[in-house]
Structure 1
Amino acid sequence: MTGDTVHWWQTRWFVALMVLVSIIPLLKPDIPPLVDLPGHMGRYRVQLEIGQVPWLGDWYDFNWSLIGNLGVDLLIIPLAPVFGLELAVKLIVIAIPALTVLGLLWIAREVHGRIPPTALFALPLAYSFPFQFGFVNFALSMALALNAFALWLRLARLGRLRLRAILFVPLSCLVWLCHTFGWGVLGVLAFSAEMIRQHDLMTERRGDATLWERIRRGHWIAAWCKAGLHCLPLALPMVLMIVWRSGDHVTGQTGDWFNWRAKFGWVTMVLKDRWQTFDIASIALLLVILAKGLRSPTIGYSRNLALSALFLLAVFIALPRIVFGSAYADMRLVPFMIAVAVIALRPRPGLSVRGATMLAVLGCAFFLVRIGAGTVSYWMFDQRYDRELKALEHVPIGARLITFVGETCGNKWLMTRVEHFPALALERRLAYSNDQWSMAGAQLLTAKYLPAGRFAHDPSQIVTSIQCPREWWRPINRALARFPRNAFDYVWLVAPPAYDPKFNQGLVEVWRDGTSVLYRIDHTKPGVFVSDAEIHPKIIWRAPF
């Protein structure tokens, strides 16, 4: 790994090519088809326009505050005036998988001396489930954290410890500001790597010893303490975290600890996109490779990254599903835990050049196949986006729009990616969007449109055919019967489930494409009111993750 021969997968041109390949799925779609991203885009529009558009201030409160969740929110401020909001968001999102691929390969290079062929198998994790879900601030923070960790390793290798301490005070704050999770993972990675480095330094000074002798002499305890001291430059965001999360305005509970069924599900969903068998087979391949590294005579684990992966595994086990009201906390960590474990693998001395080349070819092929499938999947999502968004051509600027998006109980593998379509009406037409997250302290925006009542914010936009257990989603008949018509001028139904047509009374059809339809509310005609007894859909079982 450190010899004079540099193989094709270890060259700079190959790294640059892999970075470029990683952005291919995102080139065609105008709006990256990530589940939550349209909702964030609506918030960005309010952020940029609330001072110039008076009715936005009637509907939403937007207050800047120092929170660990501002990555894209800050970047669009300089980029949107130059490129326009949608293109600016697209460019930022494109940068996320590119930085993720670069960070993984850079870490592998710093730890192993050369990029091992097995590291290529980790690259498809740039399009992991958290990214597909549209957690863009989180994903950007993690991409930055990976590259920051690579820099941390490089400066240690070069002996530039004082420079590292100086640089990582602002860098850690930058990663935290983007998203708290990235800063936490950076701390775990840096601590584990520094612990190994300190242990190795002590071993060099004191000579070889058995594992028991090292424990008896306190090598690991001393390494633990010294690693903590070296990681102090990363600690400043802890003060920011305490200030942020100690205020009375912060809402949201932390709970659902040790939900093993959900945790197992997150592992199977790491590469979840469109085709279930293909996606599960892909993660199964990665798990087989990780298992092979435990017993194979040709590949093994680096102690440095293996310890990092074990630390991340411990964090994953300890993390609850919900942290401060934010769901999927533990799920977000899984792909990066697996990615670090994969890049920890490296050839043993017994692996031939031909064997290493074959591993590189297979890893590269795996990445290209996943990228190809992702490109097709995103093209299909983009086609649907184009069809559905034609409805907005008939929505007036500033319309009081309520939107209902069809969903099903249970957890279908294929997510429709239209769950937050209402926010695109806010982003493109400055119309009201009832899908915005409204949790003080977690986002900069909160909904305050009182006439909308319980239909003011997320998840009021989601409707189902029946009542789903453990969900706030309404059956569509109930939603159409109960939403306050006087508070809105238009109703947009996006792929709704079947419903009783009597609820169309007082609604004038403006546009239709299949089951998706846009109605104008005729306020001269009353809607249909029905009692709760008449709306009593049955409940079906739904998995808890």
Structure 2
Amino acid sequence: MNAGERHWWQTRWFVVLAALIACVPLIWPDIPPIVDLPGHMGRYRVQLDRGAHAWLADWYKFEWSLIGNLGVDLLIEPLAPIIGLEPAVKLIVMAIPALTVAGLLWIAREVQGRIPATALFALPLAYGYPFQFGFVNFALSMGLALCLFALWLRMARLGRLRLRAIVFVPLSCLLWVVHTFGWGVLGVLAFSAEMIRQHDLRKDRQSGHWVASWFRAGLGCVPLALPMVLMVAWRSGADVTGQTADFFYWRTKIMWVLMALRDRWLWFDVASVAVIYLVLFKAVRDPRITYSRHLGLSALFMLVVFILLPRIVFGSAYADMRLAPFMLAIAVIAIRPKPGQSFRHASVLAAVGFAFFVVRIVAGTISFVQFDRDYDEELAALNHVPVGARLVSFVGHNCHNDWRMSRLEHLPAIALERRLAYTDDQWSMAGGQLMTVRYTQAGGYSHDPTQIVTPVRCRGEWWRPVNYAIARLPRDAFDYVWLIRPPKWDARFAPGLVPVWRSPTSASVLFRIDHSVPAPVASDEELGIPHYVVEFMRRRRERLIASGAIGR
């Protein structure tokens, strides 16, 4: 092969093909079955309502403000009026893995000169655990951050440094608006790459001092710094809540790197992660293979950030978990042959990497089709929910963390999205997002996580035992009760709940509340939770509300 000739996986058509393949699992489902997304869709419905339905304003407060978490919220503004809310959300979510795949391959091309065969093993991480969890603004910002980092590298390679400084001022601000995390990761990646570039320049001048390289790299990244002002303005607002907590949970951090591809089948997902670690390990052991200094340092910086990040940042949970798949992806695309060497049987290695990607896509497609079937079965209940109904929902869960999440935790929000009904699964944290819950009549049944119920009380969780949740709900505040695949419960604690729909395939049922029937009289102990625990949780909840850790 001639020096200028490219392999099939190093061509532009392959990058386009890989990006399109990454969209395949999301083609079939009407609603992408990722955990938090239905909850966000409920918020989008209120956002787009523009006060057309007065009762929504009685239940929810929606107010535009400049925060670092607006990616999909802004994109649906022009798209939803044209194609509808659900198709708009689906289109945006489909773009996320495509952007991630394209960004990874583009970065590899800019740093390595050509896409290494091993880079294909990083592509399945576009469907990493954070994406499966439904962190859509975060995932969108990360896909964009990867593409912008590739652009940053390209402009440096072409010597367009002044133009880069100009264009990245607005680009960094836009990325921050999409989600703060993506902007932060872009800063880490850009600084590490700039530090290597400055070191090489100083070395050419017979001065390779790292301190000077650090200083000059910092100056080079100044065009990315303007969002710091936006961050200060955002987090110093009077209505901002949310704590930063849970540092250095080592066991959990180890779990995150093992769960990087968590979806449905434990053995398959863990084996897939093992393949990625095998590739990384092989690169360390093989004397003909090395790591790119640019991307190797970037991966190392991301590892440091991953270690230092707490579990909760500004009230947003799983902050450190979100970084794990991208840290691994950057480490994989950093692998390259040493100068003068080449990958042995590179075409075979690329074929194996591409096959690995396709197998994960096929498995993800099957998984999403099955989750979509679950959605269709449960959402049949909404045909019996009147527009504007006051609906409280209880979604079955258990006290242990099953590998296959049900993806039903925020499905009640589709009642808000499709039927303009009140649902109790919305998040309520001022400053963290644009909408908060104001339906005080619902009391402790007003917002997430009150929709989660379990067979018994789970230690360390806010979830209620199912019997307690049903018996204690404020009946005057609601018209309907929707049980979605609940654990086994006792009907004697549900007088006056009249079934209007039952699932033919699960234990799900929709009740209409007969307000003429009084609520049951039962002790806390009968309902599965000791009275002292109720009091302890009440006091703890009030303390967390006062500290801003959770919304009221």
User: What is the match of residue 410 of structure 2?
Assistant: 420
Which of residues 240, 244, 255 is equivalent to 1:250?
240
Is 1:438–2:438 an aligned residue pair?
no
Q: TM-score, normalised by structure 2?
A: 0.94
Q: Distance in 1 between matches of 2:50 and 2:472?
A: 29
User: What is the match of residue 204 of structure 1?
Assistant: 204
Letter in 2 for 1:13: W
Asked if the contact 1:463–1:473 (Cα under 8 Å) also holds between the matched residues in 2, the reply is yes
Q: Distance in 2 between matches of 1:409 and 1:82?
A: 43
Letter in 1 for 2:252: A
User: What is the match of residue 147 of structure 2?
Assistant: 147
User: What is the match of residue 363 of structure 2?
Assistant: 373
Secondary structure in 2 aligned to 1:297? coil
| 1:307-355 deviations in Å (ceiling 9; x for gaps) | 0000000000010111111110000011111000000001235755761
User: What is the match of residue 211 of structure 1?
Assistant: none
Asked if the contact 2:337–2:343 (Cα under 8 Å) also holds between the matched residues in 1, the reply is no
Q: Distance in 2 between matches of 1:376 and 1:89?
A: 21
Paired residue total: 529
Asked if the contact 2:193–2:295 (Cα under 8 Å) also holds between the matched residues in 1, the reply is yes
Q: Distance in 2 between matches of 1:438 and 1:520?
A: 26
Q: Aligned-pair distance for 1:529?
A: 2.3
Question: Structure 1: which 5+ runs fail to align?
Answer: 207-216, 540-545
Letter in 1 for 2:359: V
Secondary structure in 1 aligned to 2:345? helix
Change (3 A) 1:2 1:391: farther
Q: Distance in 1 between matches of 2:53 and 2:46?
A: 9
| 1:2-60 deviations in Å (ceiling 9; x for gaps) | 93120011011111110110000000000000000000000000000141110000000
Is 1:157–2:153 an aligned residue pair?
no
Which of residues 510, 522, 529 is equivalent to 1:530?
522
Q: TM-score, normalised by structure 1?
A: 0.95
User: What is the match of residue 170 of structure 1?
Assistant: 170
Asked if the contact 1:15–1:105 (Cα under 8 Å) also holds between the matched residues in 2, the reply is yes
**Counterparts of 1:286-301 in structure 2 under 5 Å?**
286-301=276-291
Q: Distance in 1 between matches of 2:270 and 2:341?
A: 29
User: What is the match of residue 130 of structure 2?
Assistant: 130
Asked if the contact 2:199–2:208 (Cα under 8 Å) also holds between the matched residues in 1, the reply is no
| 1:183-218 deviations in Å (ceiling 9; x for gaps) | 000000000000000111111222xxxxxxxxxx66
Change (3 A) 1:352 1:231: closer
Which of residues 409, 414, 418 is equivalent to 2:399?
409
User: What is the match of residue 506 of structure 1?
Assistant: 496
Letter in 1 for 2:234: W
Q: Aligned-pair distance for 1:284?
A: 1.1
User: What is the match of residue 187 of structure 2?
Assistant: 187
Q: Aligned-pair distance for 1:303?
A: 0.6
Asked if the contact 1:275–1:414 (Cα under 8 Å) also holds between the matched residues in 2, the reply is yes
Letter in 1 for 2:519: G
Deviates more, 1:529-538 or 1:400-409: 529-538
Deviates more, 1:90-99 or 1:292-301: 292-301
Deviates more, 1:294-303 or 1:14-23: 294-303
Q: Aligned-pair distance for 1:533?
A: 2.8
| 1:292-317 deviations in Å (ceiling 9; x for gaps) | 11121232210110000000000000
Q: Distance in 1 between matches of 2:366 and 2:224?
A: 41
**Counterparts of 1:290-439 in structure 2 under 5 Å?**
290-348=280-338, 355-439=345-429
Q: Aligned-pair distance for 1:93?
A: 0.0
Asked if the contact 2:34–2:133 (Cα under 8 Å) also holds between the matched residues in 1, the reply is yes
Asked if the contact 1:35–1:417 (Cα under 8 Å) also holds between the matched residues in 2, the reply is yes
Q: Aligned-pair distance for 1:437?
A: 0.3
Asked if the contact 2:465–2:528 (Cα under 8 Å) also holds between the matched residues in 1, the reply is no
Asked if the contact 1:298–1:350 (Cα under 8 Å) also holds between the matched residues in 2, the reply is no
User: What is the match of residue 542 of structure 1?
Assistant: none
Letter in 2 for 1:154: R
Q: Distance in 2 between matches of 1:415 and 1:363?
A: 27
